[in-house]
Chains A and B, each alone.
Chain A
Amino acid sequence: MVGEPPVPAGHEARVADIQAALRAGRVPSATLARLEATRDGRMPWVATLTPAELLSVRSHGLRPLAAIAATCWMHYGWSWTEGHAQGWNAALARLKEEAKAVGANAVLDVKMRTIPLGIENSMDFTLIGTAARVEGMPPSNDPIVATVPALEFVKLLEADIVPTGIAVGAQYDWLNDWAGNTNQIYAGNVETTVLSQFWERIRQRAHAELRRNAAGQGNGVLAHVNFGQLFRIEANDQKQFLGRQIVVATTVDTPRRGKAAGGPWDIGPKAGPAIPHDIGIVVDMHAGGTPLTGRARHHQSYGSNERDGAI
């Protein structure tokens, strides 16, 4: 077939509905209808979980409901770096709306994705996960968002640690080196203090923002992305540096053990919560990653940062 294709039936109305719904913070109608049918059992449930995860999820009373997703496509007119915080936060809010629509308490196995369509000065922020309901609990008004696979989610729950959401700290700054402070005059070993300090300021600000962003969601974070870039840009005979730091973390909520529980250095077996079964230590002869090590690539939005040893 050659030439302009006919516009599929209902397309214009559907797109208008999607845009209106997203602006109003609602779930688009077509998705809502499907999620409600899934919630009521009129459509099959859909889970990104593996069967091994299904098994442990069943043993812990978590029912998978629907694979849900949210996207926010940002254009960076102002700041590429800060766009990341805005983009992920918008996607997170939309994901929670879908989770609520399907009657979930939690979204498991949430993956951060970027769709590879190279469109200038823009990037999409996509979250995909499985909405699940805890048996015997009413649906939540503020479902938790767990970036860990279901097996790790259960493992954390047993230790009384609840993964609750995603926190982002994204900061950048420019350094105009008109005085030539970064020029290397001395040929020996010497710290480039100006750059060190510049870099450290940005990183501290990014981490401070991460803390602020996390505070509303839990009392701790497990940082899994630490993405930093430092550029030297030369224009009009002036040296400029751009530094940007993006930290993305899973927030967790866990009761703190005080002195009464044995003091901060007492990590004896009685200190932690009781886990209802044995913990074994194994030498895993399987060469590849296992579901438990969670080494399968879970997030691909900051892939180039992997060799830096993200946690």
Chain B
Amino acid sequence: MPNDIPVHARERLKGLRTAAHSTGVFTSDFSVNEFLLVRKAGFEPIGLCMGTCVYHVGYQFGSWSRNQEMEVLSRAMYHARELAMARMRAEATAMNADGIVGVKLTIKRLEWDEHLLEFIAIGTGVVHGEGHKGFRAHDGGPFTSDLSGQDFWSLLHSGYRPVEMVMGSCVYHVAHRGMLAGLASAGRNVELENFTSAMYEAREIAVDRMQAEAQAAQAEGVVGVDIHEGSHVWKPHVIEFFAIGTAVVPLAQEILPEKIADPMLVLSVND
């Protein structure tokens, strides 16, 4: 057997169990690369944290010819996600985790009732290997982040740490074309200004809410932001704009610029 395999790994290969984890087991949904890089960043996974919430999304009817936010639905989509995330975070707190990485937030339709949605948040709770508590969120609880293990390592190496997953939702009813636009525009390419402005207003509301959350978490910025549009259980013309990202703050002790690894250009021969 080659000598550069660590003693511990060699013992395991011989069939001996580790005593490092008190319960003997940790759980995570890490890939191999994620696992290696989270440990390289100085953290140990301790357990999968999960929160779910089955939510009955209430009714709201948009006025046929008007653009407007469906505030009841916006609140529902936001509240349900928040409940799932809070439950996940409570699990992490219970296992004394410093943070949760790789959070996946998903929504499932339950087929027997079109108004029921299941929200699931799942991620891996991690602790700092040397018990450093400086990585916790602004409220002293575990940080949350939808960054993968690779992203987590990269983020720390670019001088930031994650604080909180921040999000903003806006469910919006886009007016039907009852505004004479159809007649007036026959035969010409024209912009449908009422639709364009609907997109602007809805997106602005969602991004603004996300940014306000980041501000409340005392973050310097938000990385990995995605603004996506989805139609979950609603009729056509109703759409959700959902902005989500990880709020970050600079590390208390910033990595010296010369210590940040020089990026290496790589030409992949795979494609």
A residues lining the B interface (CB < 8 Å)? 1-5, 7-8, 11, 14-15, 18-19, 22-23, 28, 30-31, 34, 38, 43-52, 54-56, 58-59, 64, 67, 69, 71-79, 82-83, 86, 90, 113, 115-120, 122, 124, 126, 128, 130, 154-155, 158, 275, 277-284, 286, 290, 292-293, 295
Contact = CB atoms under 8 A, between A and B. Distances in A.
A246 B260 CA distance: 43
Contact of A82 (B154, B189, B223): B189
Contact of B263 (A59, A86, A122): A59
B112 interface: no
A44 B262 contact: no
A31 B208 CA distance: 9
Interface of B: 33, 58-63, 66-72, 147, 150-152, 154-155, 157-160, 174, 177, 181, 185-201, 203-204, 207-208, 210-211, 214-215, 219-227, 229, 231, 236-237, 239, 243, 245, 247, 260, 262-271
A28 B229 CA distance: 21
A28 B200 contact: yes
B260 A128 contact: no
Given A55-B157, A75-B190, A282 B266 contact: yes
Nearest to A17: B197
Given A30-B208, A54-B160, A64-B221, 5 more contacts: A2-B61, A19-B194, A43-B211, A46-B222, A58-B158
Nearest to A52: B154
B207 to A, nearest CB: 7
A2 B265 contact: no
Contact of B265 (A19, A83, A280): A280
Contacts of A55: 154-155, 157-158, 260, 263
Contacts of A113: 229
A293 B268 contact: yes
Contact of A116 (B59, B147, B190, B231): B231
Nearest to A114: B229
Specify which of B157, B201, B237 lies most central, judged by the most chain A CB atoms within 10 Å of its CB.
B201
| Majority secondary structure of chain B interface residues (helix, strand, loop or mixed) | mixed
Contact of B201 (A14, A34, A275, A284): A14
Looking at chain A's contact residues, the main secondary structure is mixed
A275 to B, nearest CB: 7
By CB atoms of chain B within 10 A, which of A5, A19, A79, A286 has the most? A5
A278 B219 CA distance: 35
Given A51-B158, A59-B263, A74 B220 contact: no
B266 to A, nearest CB: 5
Given A50-B154, A51-B160, A280 B264 contact: yes
21 contacts: A2-B59, A5-B63, A5-B71, A8-B69, A11-B69, A44-B219, A46-B225, A47-B221, A49-B223, A50-B224, A51-B223, A54-B158, A55-B263, A56-B263, A71-B199, A72-B196, A73-B191, A75-B190, A115-B239, A119-B236, A277-B262
A78 to B, nearest CB: 5
B227 A67 contact: yes
Given A277-B265, A284-B268, A290-B268, A54 B193 contact: no
A51 B152 contact: yes
Contacts of A82: 189
Contacts of B157: 55
Given A46-B245, A47-B221, A54-B223, A117 B237 contact: yes
A48 B243 CA distance: 10
A282 B263 contact: no
Contact of B222 (A47, A58, A115, A126): A47
A64 B154 CA distance: 16
Contacts of B236: 117-119
A115 B229 contact: yes
B155 A277 contact: no
A45 B222 contact: yes
A86 B189 contact: yes
Contacts of A154: 263
A44 B263 contact: no
Given A45-B220, A50-B151, A282-B269, A75 B185 contact: yes
A50 B170 CA distance: 24
A30 B170 CA distance: 15
A214 B180 CA distance: 36
